[in-house]
Chains A and B, each alone.
Chain A
Amino acid sequence: MLALEFPPINEILRWRDLFPTFNKVALISVAAALITIVIFLIASNQDGMKAPKGIRNLAESMVEFIENQIIMPTMGKDGLGWTPFMLSLFAFIYLCNLPGIIPIVYMPATARIAIPLFLSLLVWVIFIGVGFKHQGPKYIKNSLMPPGVPGPLYILVIPIEFISTFLVRPFSLTVRLFANMLAGHILLVTFSLLTEELIQSDTLVLKPVAILPFFMLMFITAFEVLVGFLQAYIFTILAAVYIGGAAHPEH
């Protein structure tokens, strides 16, 4: 009755090479970086004394969002120096997520594991570096041996803390962003295929049924707007939590 052929995963995620070694994902990530740079360059060249308007307004509200919603609750006042890093992280991830729902492009660049993996390895290197910078070699001891644990239990606690701090953190950061965007992308593909297949089916009864997956498609598209923002927010706030935690040992 229905011949639903799900395309191979490589076709969903790769599209085709624009020229060798440069495909759609690379194009989107380069565009995301360039758009961010251009927005903030234009905004910084405008007169800061006047009331902000246009692009500068957008840039200022983004900076304010990062400072008030991400850095202040997690790192406090000392963390405000991290605003540029968090801002570029957030803007880049958000602009990589957004093409997942933009017609014609329809591909979140973060649905390939390379970009999330690189970003979370960057955060991993930075938070370990910050830990050593602020606490010296005691950082290892502080992060592996939480205070207030009875002596013998350290045999259990040290491996658990080691795994959860140094191995699971970058892994879960990567997988969270990657799997969320990939899941959204596959859902969109599934429902658009279903809609198309039902509309083109030979049985006349099935044609009106296509409205159901179509509504689902609309709903998921709206949901993806939220997910793209939320994942960028969560990635940035977790990076802030990790860096803030490395800068100040627990007491």
Chain B
Amino acid sequence: MEAFSILAQAIDADGLKAAEAASSAGFAYGLAAIGPGIGIGYLVGKSVEAMARQPEAAGMVRTTMFLGIAFTEALALIGFVVFILIGL
């Protein structure tokens, strides 16, 4: 605990604010990437399965897959924008 208080004294208010901003920006992007990561993986995996089962429907599946990726990815990208807004 003493080390923490010494650290806290060493950093002034602005530096502390910047450090908090940097770490929370990192957390914001990291947390925002979890859900879409799982989602896109699941989506593409299922699409590949569908394309392998029915190669004649591959074109339609691909279009729908890109649409789905676009919607899922938007969440991660909003996290990235938050990261830029807080962190830089």
Residues of A within 8 A of B (CB): 9, 69, 73-74, 172, 175-176, 178-180, 182-183, 230, 233-234, 237-238, 241
B42: interface (CB < 8 Å): no
A237/B66 in contact, CB under 8 A = yes
A183/B63 in contact, CB under 8 A = no
Main secondary structure of the interface of B (DSSP, over half): helix
A9 to B84, alpha carbons, bound, how many Å?
A: 9
B67: interface (CB < 8 Å): yes
Given contacts A175-B78, A182-B84, A237-B66, 5 further A-B contacts (CB under 8 A): A9-B84, A73-B63, A176-B74, A178-B81, A179-B78
Main secondary structure of the interface of A (DSSP, over half): helix
Chain A residues whose CB sits within 8 angstroms of the CB of B78 once the complex forms: 175, 179
- Top-7 shortest CB links A-B: A179-B77, A172-B74, A73-B63, A234-B70, A9-B88, A179-B80, A179-B81
Which bracket fits the contact residues of B? Answer: 10 to 19
A176/B67 in contact, CB under 8 A = no
Set B60, B69, B77, B88: member contacting A73, Cβ < 8 A: B60
Chain A residues whose CB sits within 8 angstroms of the CB of B74 once the complex forms: 172, 175-176
11 CB-based A-B contacts, threshold 8 Å: A9-B84, A73-B63, A172-B71, A172-B74, A175-B81, A176-B70, A182-B80, A183-B80, A233-B66, A234-B70, A238-B70
B15: interface (CB < 8 Å): no
